[in-house]
Amino acid sequence: MSHGIVQIRLLINGEWKVLKIDFHLPQKSNSFERYAYMVKKQIWVAFIEKGFAKIRKSYEKLSGGVAGIALQQLTGAMTFSVFMEKFNNDENRVWEFIQENRNSKFILTVSTPTIEEESEKKQLLEEYGIRDCHEYSVLDAQVYMGHRLILLAGSGPFGKPKSVRRWGHLPSYKEIREDWCAVDLGFSEFGTFWIDMSELFQYFEYVTVCQYREKWKEIRIRRNVVANTKNTE
């Protein structure tokens, strides 16, 4: 695929836009990707990124965002986030929330907070092996020997988290992996890890739910809302 055109569909400002982009992707002098890395030459992430760059008129105008907005722009589905503090430190409520949304087959992510450089909490996250201001996908939730465990995906710069030392012998469950392609299976042992519910509370700030279902249909209606400028007493 040295050249060609690909179409990317994104939900922008509440409307679906189909963008046509070419196959050219910026590279560094060493032939590596300048922006989104193409692991095993999987190019879909790079094409989506280029679609967003076209909307913003430049790669340089792209900045990090949150999973909720990204998932909504990719799927068109409603998304919402719930901060851990809303659960009043009740692990049972968080567990039920995750299980309920997983049973509905919704997309789930958890996010770490943004932390000041050289702070004690940032050092704590780095020692554990996860990044601050980072999103991790929730792939599974299981009980193992009385422990409620969450399977996360999202490799960071520090290798696998320390939870792997405790739960690293547990494989990803077959029903989660059965639809994965060969490349995803190859990277699953590196990029996925189990975490205990207590650790989820300790290191993560909020949970995001994307209420996407493959067979759902949508109807979008355009409407203009006129502000009432009359003075009222």
Q: Any idea which residues carry the catalytic annotation? A: 134
**Whose CA is closest to 95, among 128, 142, 130?**
142
**Whose CA is closest to 132, among 106, 153, 100, 156?**
156
Q: Tokens standing for 151?
A: 């399977």
Helix (H) or strand (E) holding 6: strand 5-12
CA–CA distance, 128 with 84 (Å, rounded to integer): 19
- In three-state secondary structure terms, 88 is coil
Please say whether the beta carbons of 75 and 212 come within 8 A: yes
